[in-house]
């Protein structure tokens, strides 16, 4: 079931869940405990249930005391889940109004489930109902669920115990085995905690102890192993059946000293017959078709089905190779998918020329998995489950070889071929290290730091060295094609490997070099335990786990995780993926586009671009971060635009005191002058720039305003009159002074009006005619 919480519309597409809910509503009495009501996911669950309850006209039952509990939490300022609590309250109110809610117990009942269990309302009331009716009981209290399951075991009607799954906003059915395992884990956690045990925790421990003595539970755990949690698999230790000696090689510490070229008279080719020897068996086979040629020799299809032959180049036919292959063939190595040497090939002159092996199929890991573009083309439907299964298949084969003391030596994506997640072929097996014969080749990326810069043919590798290659290979499968130390600042790979600059963070720990782009997201979506193991293998740091234990780094030859540990981890991860996918579907995707959803977070689809994003439960964003930014920007731009528009509207037209032309005076300008307490401008822009004088000393305000121009002949006359007559007398000077004090204001106030212009024009005209 895909996790979602976005209302009724989404649920319509999740038919399966809706059908289950409908059938439950039809057939069961639904009782929801207070602690479940307070869970963040309950809001979603109740919203899902509402339409069904309405349709079937069925009610739910909640404890009477829970309503006051809910209100108490709502008023608590420290409570984080207010948004969802509001959802819950709304749903409860709606149900109440529709009379679809009933109450059990008394108002004064303790809602704190850690109080004395014997008095627990639910333990008394629920079985009473469950005797005659089917019941669905929802609580987060595992011990309560377990007890009720045990109590109702013999009952004829069905009793379903469930709890609210916060990740998905849906209910999840619980069974006895699962509950018991979780309870035991809780017990371990409480008793191992370094903080002192609270009263509530002590109660829990007491309860668990009394449950341990419960006869029914004991019987169930023994009788029905299927009820036991599926997580309890046989540990890898017991599943290693001891390998018989005819399959196992010895471990050597000394290099073989055999050397020397073995000359041959001719190399067989197509259509040639050769002899294949294995122990005492000898048979004739024919080389049919040439398949490929590499650096060491050529591979031919033979007349034996599924068997191919590798014929070495002349210079590669050495005593060392001969002895090594003889040794390899002497043990019964038989594993589907490992193209191990089967028999020695000699030409018609009985000269050693090569060996036979089973045929391989598929494309190299490099081509079809380690290049994301090609991966999407080759396996477009793959999810995380497929890459994890692929890892498991590869690990199982490596384990087969390691259990028999065969070291692959050169683990690299060119000699592992993939057909499907369960069908994988190992090729170039003749280079594997057995006993004193080293693997003479290696690949830089997969070579452990302690083996770097050494000639591969001169030393024997250990499983500890190989564990580095295994970890690197798994890393590059989980982050398709990305090497753990890819170019982390230093000029070459060798330095990065030796200095252990691992860029990926674990919880709060990081080394500052955050990997770019989608690799961060892929890393974030892996399970914590997987990330922890990679981190401990590739970085020099140690890690503190949730119980405050210090886990030291596992990055040396002696401390690296073995193939058994990796296999265990990946099988566990494979099992967990379903659950992880329910919580956050992107955890199943090979190339997630965002970080993993945390426990108190939820996934939303952006209302604008449709991309998924994460928010905390108590936030209510509806758009992803980028779109929010964009929206905010657009809003601001709109605001600016409106402002600009408003400011560009003309407040008034003013006549320029210099040139007499009318100019626009906008709202924006008016506000500017008002803010500064200045008088409004009297000159148009041009005149202001040219510095046309205000003509305080010489202008004739009223006259200029009336006649429209400073330079018109009437004004000139009046000016002459002012300069030559008025200013020469005391009275005149006073008049001029008063005139200039008053007329600007006069003009400012009335300069545009008709009556002003009319009256004064008449007056001034008269004056001018007298003067002339």
Partner 1 sequence: MYEEENLIEFDELVDNPTTRVPVCLCLDTSGSMDGDPIDELNKGVSMFYSAIRDDDIAKYAADICIATFGSGGARLDQDFAGVEDLQAPYFSAGGMTPMGEAVNIALDALERRKEEFKNSGVDYFQPWLVLMTDGEPNGNALELERAIQRTAEAVKNKKLTVFPIGIGSDADLNVLKKFSPGRTPLKLKGLNFKQFFEWLSQSVSRTSQSSPGETIKLDLDGIKGWGELY
317, 262 in Cβ contact below 8 A? Answer: yes
Q: Which is nearer to partner 1, 370 or 426 (CB)?
A: 370
> Least Å distance between CB 497 and partner 1?
10
CB-facing half-sphere around the CA of 119: CA atoms within 13 A:
10
445 near partner 1 (CB under 8 A)? yes
> Least Å distance between CB 535 and partner 1?
17
Q: Which is nearer to partner 1, 217 or 486 (CB)?
A: 486
Q: Which is nearer to partner 1, 393 or 412 (CB)?
A: 412
374 near partner 1 (CB under 8 A)? yes
Q: Which helix (H) or strand (E) holds 37?
A: helix 34-37
| Candidate residues 41, 481, 505, 581; the one interacting with partner 1 per rule CB under 8 A | 481
557, 450 in Cβ contact below 8 A? Answer: yes
Instruction: For residue 478, count other CB atoms closer than 10 A to its CB.
Output: 23
Two tokens, residue 652: 């008034």
| Candidate residues 194, 373, 678, 731; the one interacting with partner 1 per rule CB under 8 A | 373
Q: Which is nearer to partner 1, 314 or 685 (CB)?
A: 314
Which DSSP state fits 561? Answer: P
Q: Which is nearer to partner 1, 443 or 695 (CB)?
A: 443
| Candidate residues 82, 90, 367, 694; the one interacting with partner 1 per rule CB under 8 A | 367
366 near partner 1 (CB under 8 A)? yes
Which DSSP state fits 455? Answer: -
Non-local CB neighbours of 652 within 8 Å, separated by 6+ positions: 665, 670
> Least Å distance between CB 519 and partner 1?
8
Non-local CB neighbours of 698 within 8 Å, separated by 6+ positions: 719
| Candidate residues 169, 297, 409, 480; the one interacting with partner 1 per rule CB under 8 A | 480
Binders of partner 1 among 393-412, rule CB under 8 A?
412
694 near partner 1 (CB under 8 A)? no
Two tokens, residue 467: 């564990």
| Candidate residues 493, 498, 659, 712; the one interacting with partner 1 per rule CB under 8 A | 493
| Candidate residues 75, 97, 458, 492; the one interacting with partner 1 per rule CB under 8 A | 492
| Candidate residues 51, 127, 157, 372; the one interacting with partner 1 per rule CB under 8 A | 372
Q: Which is nearer to partner 1, 91 or 366 (CB)?
A: 366
Q: Which helix (H) or strand (E) holds 204?
A: helix 199-212
> Least Å distance between CB 367 and partner 1?
6
533 near partner 1 (CB under 8 A)? no
Q: Which is nearer to partner 1, 36 or 366 (CB)?
A: 366
Rounded distance, CA 464 to CA 433, Å?
14
3 near partner 1 (CB under 8 A)? no
Non-local CB neighbours of 601 within 8 Å, separated by 6+ positions: 614, 615, 616, 617
118 near partner 1 (CB under 8 A)? no
Q: Which is nearer to partner 1, 612 or 752 (CB)?
A: 612
Whole-angstrom CA distances from 655 to 193, 602, 650, 702, 756 are 87, 65, 14, 12, 15
515 near partner 1 (CB under 8 A)? yes
| Candidate residues 483, 567, 656, 703; the one interacting with partner 1 per rule CB under 8 A | 483
770 near partner 1 (CB under 8 A)? no
The 170-173 sheet, strands edge to edge: 101-104, 60-63, 28-32, 134-138, 159-165, 170-173
606 near partner 1 (CB under 8 A)? no
> Least Å distance between CB 478 and partner 1?
13
Give the rounded distance of the alpha carbon of 17 from its chain centre: 25
Q: Which is nearer to partner 1, 93 or 487 (CB)?
A: 487
The 416-420 sheet, strands edge to edge: 363-364, 416-420, 423-426
Instruction: For residue 240, count other CB atoms closer than 10 A to its CB.
Output: 11
Non-local CB neighbours of 91 within 8 Å, separated by 6+ positions: 43, 46, 47, 49, 50
| Candidate residues 82, 114, 275, 414; the one interacting with partner 1 per rule CB under 8 A | 414
> Least Å distance between CB 459 and partner 1?
18
503, 513 in Cβ contact below 8 A? Answer: yes
Binders of partner 1 among 207-266, rule CB under 8 A?
none
Q: For partner 1, what does the binding mask look like between residues 557 and 596, x meaning CB under 8 A?
A: -----------------------------x--xxxxx---
Angle at 28 between CA 22 and CA 34, to 5 degrees: 100
Rounded distance, CA 483 to CA 538, Å?
11
353, 268 in Cβ contact below 8 A? Answer: yes
> Least Å distance between CB 469 and partner 1?
12
Which DSSP state fits 81? Answer: T
709, 763 in Cβ contact below 8 A? Answer: no
144, 120 in Cβ contact below 8 A? Answer: yes
**Which of the ranges 152-160, 315-323, 384-392, 510-518 carries the binding residues for partner 1, by CB under 8 A?**
510-518
516 near partner 1 (CB under 8 A)? yes
Dihedral, CA of residue 455, residue 456, residue 461 and residue 464, to nearest 10: 80
| Candidate residues 371, 608, 659, 717; the one interacting with partner 1 per rule CB under 8 A | 371
Q: Which residue has the tokens 């008709």?
A: 754
- φ, ψ for residue 557 (rounded to 5)? -55, -40
> Least Å distance between CB 591 and partner 1?
5
- The size of the interface with partner 1 (CB under 8 A), counted in residues, is 38
| Candidate residues 244, 294, 489, 713; the one interacting with partner 1 per rule CB under 8 A | 489
Q: Which is nearer to partner 1, 254 or 453 (CB)?
A: 453
> Least Å distance between CB 490 and partner 1?
9
Question: What is the chain's Cα-based Rg?
Answer: 44
> Least Å distance between CB 441 and partner 1?
9
113 near partner 1 (CB under 8 A)? no
Q: Which residues lie near partner 1 (CB under 8 A)?
A: 366-367, 370-374, 376, 380, 412, 414, 443-445, 480-483, 486-489, 492-494, 503, 515-519, 586, 589-593, 611
């Amino acid at each position: 079931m895909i996790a979602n919480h976005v209302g009724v519309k989404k649920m319509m597409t999740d038919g399966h869940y809706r059908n289950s809910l409908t059938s439950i509503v039809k057939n069961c009495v639904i009782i929801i405990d207070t602690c479940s009501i307070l869970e963040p996911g309950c809001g979603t669950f109740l919203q899902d249930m509402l339409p069904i309850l309405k349709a079937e006209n069925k009610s739910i039952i909640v404890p009477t005391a829970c309503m006051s509990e809910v209100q108490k939490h709502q008023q608590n300022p420290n409570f984080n889940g207010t948004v969802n609590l509001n959802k819950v309250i709304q749903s409860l109110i709606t149900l109440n109004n529709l009379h679809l809610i009933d109450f059990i117990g008394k108002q004064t009942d303790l809602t704190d489930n850690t109080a004395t269990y014997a008095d627990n309302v639910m333990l008394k009331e629920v079985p009473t109902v469950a005797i005659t009716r089917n019941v669905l009981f929802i609580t987060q209290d595992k011990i309560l669920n377990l007890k009720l399951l045990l109590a109702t075991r013999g009952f004829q009607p069905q009793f379903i115990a469930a709890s609210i799954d916060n990740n998905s906003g849906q209910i999840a059915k619980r069974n006895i085995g699962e509950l018991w395992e979780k309870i035991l884990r809780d017990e371990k956690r409480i008793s191992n905690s370094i903080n002192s045990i609270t009263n509530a925790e002590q109660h829990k421990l007491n309860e668990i102890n009394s449950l341990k003595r419960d006869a029914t539970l004991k019987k169930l755990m023994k009788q029905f192993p299927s009820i036991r949690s599926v997580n309890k698999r046989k540990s890898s230790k017991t599943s290693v059946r001891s390998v018989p000696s005819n399959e196992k090689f010895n471990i050597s510490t000394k290099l073989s000293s055999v050397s020397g070229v073995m000359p041959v008279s001719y190399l067989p080719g197509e259509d040639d017959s050769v002899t294949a020897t294995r122990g005492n068996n000898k048979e004739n086979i024919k080389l049919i078709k040439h398949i490929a040629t590499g650096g060491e020799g050529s591979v031919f299809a033979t007349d034996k089905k599924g068997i191919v032959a590798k014929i070495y180049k002349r210079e590669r036919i050495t005593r060392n190779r001969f002895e090594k292959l003889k040794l390899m063939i002497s043990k019964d190595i038989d594993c589907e998918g490992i193209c191990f040497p089967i028999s020695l090939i000699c030409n018609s002159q009985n000269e050693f020329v090569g060996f036979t092996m089973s045929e391989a199929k598929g494309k190299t890991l490099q081509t079809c998995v380690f290049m994301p573009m090609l991966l999407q083309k080759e396996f477009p439907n793959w999810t995380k489950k497929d890459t994890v299964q692929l890892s498991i298949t590869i690990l199982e084969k490596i384990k087969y070889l390691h259990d028999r003391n065969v070291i692959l030596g050169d683990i690299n994506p060119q000699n592992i071929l993939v057909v499907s997640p369960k069908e994988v072929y190992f090729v170039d097996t003749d280079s594997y290290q057995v006993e004193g014969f080293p693997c003479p080749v290696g690949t830089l990326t997969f070579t452990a730091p302690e083996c770097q810069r050494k000639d591969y043919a001169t030393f024997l590798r250990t499983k500890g060295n190989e564990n580095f290659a295994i970890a690197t290979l798994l890393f590059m499968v989980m982050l398709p094609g990305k090497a753990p130390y890819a170019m982390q600042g230093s000029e070459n790979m060798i330095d990065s490997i030796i200095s252990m600059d691992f860029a990926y963070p674990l919880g709060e720990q990081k080394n500052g070099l955050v990997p770019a782009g989608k690799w961060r997201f892929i890393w974030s979506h892996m399970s914590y335990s997987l990330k922890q193991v990679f981190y401990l293998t590739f970085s020099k740091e140690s890690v503190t786990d949730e119980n405050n234990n210090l886990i030291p780094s596992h990055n040396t030859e002696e401390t690296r995780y073995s193939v058994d540990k990796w296999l265990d981890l990946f099988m566990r991860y494979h099992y967990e993926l379903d659950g992880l996918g329910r919580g956050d579907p992107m955890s199943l995707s090979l190339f997630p586009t965002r970080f993993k959803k945390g426990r108190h977070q939820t996934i939303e689809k952006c209302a604008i671009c449709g991309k998924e994003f994460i928010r905390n439960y108590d936030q209510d964003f509806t758009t992803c971060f980028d779109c929010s930014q964009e929206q905010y920007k657009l809003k601001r731009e709109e605001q600016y635009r409106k402002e600009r528009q408003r400011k560009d509207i003309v407040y008034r037209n003013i006549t320029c005191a210099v040139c007499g032309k009318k100019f626009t005076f906008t709202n924006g300008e008016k506000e500017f002058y008002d803010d500064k307490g200045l008088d409004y401008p009297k000159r148009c822009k041009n005149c202001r720039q040219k510095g046309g004088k205000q003509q305080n000393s010489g202008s004739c305000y009223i006259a200029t305003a009336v006649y429209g121009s400073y330079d018109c002949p009437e004004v000139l006359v009046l000016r002459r009159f002012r300069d030559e007559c008025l200013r020469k007398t005391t009275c005149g000077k006073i008049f001029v002074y008063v005139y200039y004090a008053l007329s600007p204001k006069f003009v400012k106030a009335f300069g545009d009006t008709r009556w002003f212009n009319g009256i004064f024009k008449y007056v001034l005209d008269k004056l001018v005619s007298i003067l002339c």
